[in-house]
Chains A and B, each alone.
Chain A
Amino acid sequence: MATTFATRSLLRGLRCRACGALQPADDRYVCGECLGPIEPDYDLDAVTADELRSRIERGPRSLWRYAPLLPVAEPPAHFPVGWTPLIPAPRLGAAIGVERLYLKDDTRNVTLSFKDRPVAIALARAIELGLGTLACASTGNLAGAVAAAAARNGLLAFVFVPESTEPGKVASAAAYGAHVVRVRGTYDQVNRLCGRLADEHGWGFVNFTLRPYYAEGSKTLLFECAEQLGWELPHHVVVPVGSGALLTRTARAVAQLRASRLVEGEHCRVHAAQPAGCAPVSDAILDGWRPVAPVRTPATVARSLAIGAPADGDGSVSAVRESHGSAASVGEEAILDATRLLATTEGVFVEPAGGVVVATARELARRGAFKPGETVVLYLTGNGYKQEPGELDLRAVIDPDADAFHAAYAEVLR
């Protein structure tokens, strides 16, 4: 699809987050000066707020409605990604003590996780560069997103996952035709392997060589939340933290919406949610904003957050601090309880990472972090259907007989 006025990016180049150098948007993936992380930089003064809002609102019902604030144009043949619902959650809110609670239900993306967003942007860049293969290091969800995107666009895919990855996630990535490389070790060991391979093959490693583009996709959750709230920022966003890319890009999205004058005013506090078994970011925040100390062996049921050495860890701590947010690291029982509570109060079934977010919100509410009337948004980033079912509280199988039903469920029916 030709780039049109409505979809033209305001991209100016790639700017280093560490040294501030502005560089050309070529194939570099780290700063040429200091090796720091580089991010697309946009000329937000090139359009008025009214013009930008109008462009966005005329755009497709996908993340590509934010094309002016993305570094590449929509690829011609990809499926729609994003524009997921923001759901009021009064029953869950009552249960955890939050008055105005919303769920950003990103479990409804094509491959059932928010990873379809960053992959859509990385894919667009890969196509722009003429690459024939997509690849990634993944805790599971990204593998499925990369595999599906590659299949849809006729590319080859190599996805690398820890051997402990949930079978449902491995199976779905394989079903899309990807080469699923299972690796003995933790995610961080898989990541190291991929860092090495990224140099040896001319592949589009979405979270290495395409990372400056890939990470931009994560901004679009917050863009959507603000638009869905009538161009108002939520007062609080609770974000699950694995690598920290989603959290840092949430803060970046807030800054871009403000700089482009699409939203005004009130605070938007960004809070970090991590499982106690792998909480390098939350622990750093709760220990007085100290530097992140990596976790050697993550141990948590929330496997999609089991990243012990998060690349955007220190960046996440800074982003939370600058937004006057906070954090929690929540235990395994609390995670599973919260996952069940969300499903039984709001009908939204998430993987344990979602339970981490709900349990964190509950903890923050207990600490008095949310004032009455403030809007609180929870990011739900992965669907529960990819999980192996855990212990289920099921009764015995009955005969196809009404009396058998009444006898078995007498207590419930009373």
Chain B
Amino acid sequence: MSVTIRLPAPLRSTVGGKTTVPIDATDLRSLPDAIARQYPDLASRILSGGTFGKFVTVFVDGEDARFLSPETSLAAARTIEVLPAVSGG
């Protein structure tokens, strides 16, 4: 099952300058492994100990992945977005 992952500018160099790339992952739990398998350079920047590092936030169709169950299916997901964890109201 392929879903689109959208990357911010500071990460695009890890996937040949592309803004979006396809990823084969069935659910949220398998997403880090899929990234490590398909895009090792990207994985080295955003994964830590097999999960997403604390300096990135992952969104599934706009929903913060930290609020979703690891079993959340990505079958119907349109876009997974990875953003640097930055804010400051």
Interface set of A (CB-CB < 8 Å, partner B): 18, 28-32, 34-37, 118, 137-142, 187-189, 191-192, 195-196, 199, 207-208, 211, 214-215, 242-243, 245, 294, 296, 304, 307, 309-312, 314
Contact = CB atoms under 8 A, between A and B. Distances in A.
B9 A195 contact: no
A28 B88 CA distance: 17
16 contacts: A29-B10, A30-B86, A34-B53, A35-B53, A35-B55, A118-B88, A137-B89, A191-B87, A192-B62, A195-B86, A199-B9, A208-B86, A242-B89, A309-B64, A309-B66, A311-B86
Given A28-B10, A195-B8, A294-B64, A36 B87 contact: no
Contacts of B59: 192
B68 to A, nearest CB: 10
B55 A36 contact: yes
A310 B88 CA distance: 8
Contacts of B87: 137, 187-188, 191, 207, 243, 307, 309-311
B72 to A, nearest CB: 15
A236 to B, nearest CB: 24
Contacts of A312: 88
A309 B55 CA distance: 12
B46 A35 contact: yes
Contacts of A140: 89
B53 to A, nearest CB: 7
Interface residues of B, number: 25
Which residue, B66, B81, B88, has most C-beta atoms of chain A within 10 A? B88
Contact of B88 (A18, A32, A34, A211): A211
A18 B55 CA distance: 9
B11 interface: yes
B57 A187 contact: no
A118 B89 CA distance: 11
B56 interface: yes
Given A196-B81, A199-B8, A296-B64, 9 more contacts: A34-B55, A35-B55, A36-B55, A37-B55, A137-B87, A188-B64, A191-B87, A195-B86, A211-B88
Contacts of A139: 89
Interface in B59-73: 59, 62, 64, 66-67
Contacts of A310: 87
B10 A35 contact: yes
B83 interface: yes
Nearest to B19: A199
Contacts of B11: 35
Contacts of A31: 55
Nearest to B13: A32
Given A199-B8, A199-B9, A215 B88 contact: yes
Given A138-B89, A307-B89, A32 B55 contact: no
Contact of B67 (A29, A37, A192, A296): A296
A30 B10 CA distance: 8
Given A196-B83, A294-B64, A309-B66, A245 B88 contact: yes
Nearest to B89: A139
A304 B86 contact: no
A256 to B, nearest CB: 20
Contacts of B46: 35
A141 B55 CA distance: 25
B51 to A, nearest CB: 12
Nearest to A309: B64
Contact of A142 (B9, B45, B89): B89
